[in-house]
Chain A
Amino acid sequence: MNLQISQRQIDATHELALSGEVDAYTAPKLKEVMLPLTEKEGNTVIVDLSGIDYMDSTGLGIFVGALKSSKANNSLLKLRGMTDRVKRIFEITGLTEVMDIESGVKGEAL
């Protein structure tokens, strides 16, 4: 399975729209794109997960790494558009309590 990442930017706001699967095979690709964005102070990184139907714990780990990086570098990480399956693993792992997750509708304007 594959992961597609499309990227948009307006000033310091970066939006990543993901589709496919985030697992042990595709996680490095996501890390490569997302992590540098969270490392820049003042950036807002919005990740749209509405196209993701499967994520495993390695994929979740990339978001944990990005969260730590955004805290350390004063940037913001926001997730939105989770499918039920994906939302469930964020809930079980307790990450919904520490992450900025919008329950908003997908496809909102930046």
Chain B
Amino acid sequence: MTAKDALTERYQDLLSVYLKAKNETTLYKGQQFSRKLLEQQISPEDLVSLHIQVMDELFPDMSDEMRDSFDFLLEAMIGYGFAYREHQSLRDKQQQLESEIEVAASMQQTLLLSDVPQFDELDIGVVSVPAKKMNGDYFNFVKSGNSLSVAVADIIGKGIPAALCMSMIKYAMDSLPEEQMKPHLLLENLNRVVEQNVNSNMFITMFHGVYEPETHKFFYAGAGHEPGFIYNAQADQFEDLIAKGLVLGVSRSTTYHPYEKEILLGDMVILLSDGVTECRTSKGFIEREEIVTLIRKYMDLPAQQIVENVFKELDRLQEFELRDDFTLIILKRIV
């Protein structure tokens, strides 16, 4: 017996039981049967045709009008049949796209992988979580000579376009010669690359810093990036880490200002993406002071645990629905 014959037989059974007993149980079975029909990819007009066939067998004396009306119904169902098949093919396509995005997301994860280098002088913590599958935030650590180079960037928008743009940034950074690792020069170089290669509505915000462990100086520059914080241990105070500059990709001739700061024992450099300050909760936006309060709450822990705890609390405040990509980095001077 073919699957279709089995379905016909089952439909005939259900229908004749219902016509005799007219009870709820059989009606309910009819509902369940409709799932089976979907599983077998029976289209709406096939079902009507099945109904006609069964009715013919159950009521050989059916009136001509009745039979003709079924034929008419069959024609009227054709449009639903098309819609059904279209739905099927869209679902297939969607599954295909989803699996392609999965592949792209895992490629991005591989690209993004930035091993956190080890320094005796610094305790480093980082958390970077995408709101959707693809991350539009980018961070990068490089040990260049004895120094630590750290970058955090936020690509406008989310999802696939942002991720593609991020790959470009990564390769542009990787291909810059080491002597250009001065933050303000690096931004000038990247700005030219971005300006030439992105759509006019796109831009990238970026912060770049270099930490020199011998002198404990932190050199940095910013391209329109959300300011981070410096924790001054001696004064027990958080200050904004201001690095003014135009976002990357707006004007080719933009230059960036070099900044530097001496980092003392116990001080922290805190870098973030605007996903951190643009967190929206039911009560409004998270203010920068609240981020500071959270960091302060955990600041005696190792850097990795601070960033993880802050993320957990912010995630909870947003009812675990991250709206924007989230990146938080902490460098703490420990020696």
Contact = CB atoms under 8 A, between A and B. Distances in A.
Interface of A: 24, 31, 56-58, 60-62, 64-65, 67-69, 92-95, 97-98
A60 B156 contact: yes
Nearest to B256: A94
Contacts of A67: 250
Given A65-B201, A95-B247, 5 more contacts: A56-B278, A57-B156, A57-B205, A64-B249, A67-B250
A97 B203 contact: no
Contacts of A58: 156-157, 201
Contacts of B250: 64, 67-68, 95, 98
A67 B250 CA distance: 9
A89 B245 CA distance: 13
Given A56-B278, A58-B157, A92-B224, A69 B200 contact: yes
A95 B246 contact: yes
Interface residues of B, number: 24
Interface of B: 154, 156-158, 199-203, 205, 223-227, 244-247, 249-251, 274, 278
28 contacts: A31-B201, A57-B156, A57-B157, A57-B205, A58-B156, A58-B201, A60-B156, A60-B203, A61-B201, A61-B202, A61-B203, A64-B201, A64-B247, A64-B249, A64-B250, A65-B201, A67-B250, A68-B250, A69-B200, A92-B225, A93-B205, A93-B246, A93-B247, A94-B223, A94-B224, A94-B246, A95-B247, A98-B246
